[in-house]
């Protein structure tokens, strides 16, 4: 007789295969006919931002959530839904709006030059008769950012209401899940890195980036979202790193700037030698934060997509068990990495704040 645990494992394994099979339906479609499957093109298409939320392909028909395309051109503001491109990102479908023609080429919208009716390319396959307008569209990553913000607000508002209802401030429901994480960030990150007397002012930022990065990393693991991974976007990690840099710079006290521009306790020649190194280090720290988060999250998705691509590269289902097994293994690692990367970004930010506010020791 099959035990409950065995049944759960089989159901999970079956669901995993089914979801990935649906997710790669569009890739399988490309292998039909004369066109060879290009794993590089498929992987890049999945990991970068897009103008719509592609969910699944059913009998060759893509099912997706259209998102608004918002452009500013010489003719003014132009808006339309991404569904008007009919899932084309090769510049073949032309959308006419406001007296202008727009194409989606590799998930970037271009406006054709006046009088042009189709896209033209040079020898390197670059567009030569179109220009990029000012693009403020609601893309897949922007949409998922709003979703994650909504989820976090609902999560913490619900937890706060639980505390209001409890006279003894005993966590219950969702609050019992949130409180240990908040206490962990406070006692294991903020206090040791910043100090007992100054950590409280940085807690809102540290808690925000910890939960914000973590929940977006989790969303990036859901196959049905088709690569909607905010943490795998360099602009997102750049923004978080800049915020950390600004807070660190503004928080810097006299002792902090002294160690950067005129290192105490060393000979004058060494002070002159160390000053440019320390100044460069001020900018290297946020850059390392940006690249570390972006590279680690993107690498996991690329590996999983590359493993699943083997099925279509070798054009046989015989390799499917191997691809799925290794993909499942990497996915389990990715589940752990989602929390680890949020922890690393938060603890390094707290470390930089602690270095900026540390008082001089006598």
Per-residue confidence in pLDDT tens, the chain, 362 aa: 445 455 444 445 444 444 444 444 444 444 444 457 777 777 777 777 888 877 777 776 777 788 899 999 888 899 999 888 888 878 888 889 888 889 888 888 999 888 888 888 888 778 888 889 999 999 888 998 999 999 999 988 888 887 777 666 666 778 888 889 999 999 999 999 998 889 999 999 999 999 999 999 988 887 666 557 788 889 999 999 999 999 999 998 888 888 888 888 788 888 888 899 989 999 999 999 999 999 988 888 888 888 888 888 888 778 888 888 888 888 888 888 889 999 999 999 999 999 998 877 65
Instruction: Give, in degrees to the nearest 5, the angle at Cα 44 between 299 and 56.
Output: 100
Residue 357's DSSP bridge partners are none
Contact 87, 64 (CB under 8 A): yes
- Cβ contacts of 74 within 8 Å, gap of 6 or more: none
Cβ atoms within 10 Å of 282's Cβ, excluding its own: 14
Using CA atoms of 114, 119, 122, 125 in order, give the dihedral in degrees to the nearest 10.
140
| Longest Cα separation, the chain | 79
Contact 307, 301 (CB under 8 A): no
Q: State both tokens at 302.
A: 């690329």
Distances from the Cα of 11 to the Cα of 4, 7, 16, 166, 183, angstroms: 11, 6, 8, 39, 35
């Amino acid at each position: 007789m099959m035990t409950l645990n065995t049944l759960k494992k089989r159901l999970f394994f079956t669901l995993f295969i089914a979801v990935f099979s649906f997710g790669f339906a569009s890739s399988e479609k490309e292998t039909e006919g004369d066109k060879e499957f290009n794993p590089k093109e498929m992987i890049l298409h999945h990991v970068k931002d897009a103008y719509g939320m592609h969910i699944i392909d059913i009998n060759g028909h893509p099912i997706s959530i259209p998102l608004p395309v918002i452009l500013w051109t010489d003719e003014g503001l132009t808006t339309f839904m991404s569904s008007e491109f009919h899932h084309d990102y090769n510049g073949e479908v032309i959308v006419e709006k406001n007296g202008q023609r727009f194409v989606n080429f590799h998930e970037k919208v271009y406006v054709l030059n006046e009088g042009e009716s189709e896209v033209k390319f040079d020898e390197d396959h670059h567009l030569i008769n179109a220009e990029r307008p000012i693009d403020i569209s609601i893309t897949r990553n922007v949409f998922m950012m709003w979703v994650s913000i909504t989820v976090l607000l609902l999560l913490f508002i619900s937890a706060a209401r639980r505390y209001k209802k409890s006279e003894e401030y005993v966590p219950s429901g969702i609050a019992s899940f949130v409180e240990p994480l908040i206490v962990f960030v406070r006692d294991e990150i903020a206090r040791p890195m910043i100090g007992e007397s100054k950590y409280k002012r940085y807690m809102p930022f540290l808690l925000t980036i910890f939960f914000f990065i973590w929940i977006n990393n989790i969303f990036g693991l859901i196959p049905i979202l088709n690569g909607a991974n905010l943490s795998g976007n360099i602009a997102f990690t750049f923004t978080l790193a800049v915020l950390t840099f600004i807070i660190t710079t503004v928080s810097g006290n006299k002792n902090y700037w002294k160690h950067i521009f005129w290192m105490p306790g060393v000979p004058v020649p060494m002070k002159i030698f160390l000053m440019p190194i320390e100044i460069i280090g001020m900018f290297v720290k946020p850059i390392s934060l940006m690249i570390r988060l972006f590279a680690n999250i993107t690498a996991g998705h690329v590996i999983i997509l590359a493993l699943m691509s083997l099925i279509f590269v070798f054009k046989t289902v015989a390799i499917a068990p191997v691809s799925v097994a290794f993909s499942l293994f990497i996915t389990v690692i990715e589940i752990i990495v989602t929390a680890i990367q949020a922890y690393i970004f938060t603890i390094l930010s707290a470390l930089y704040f602690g270095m900026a506010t540390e008082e001089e020791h006598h």
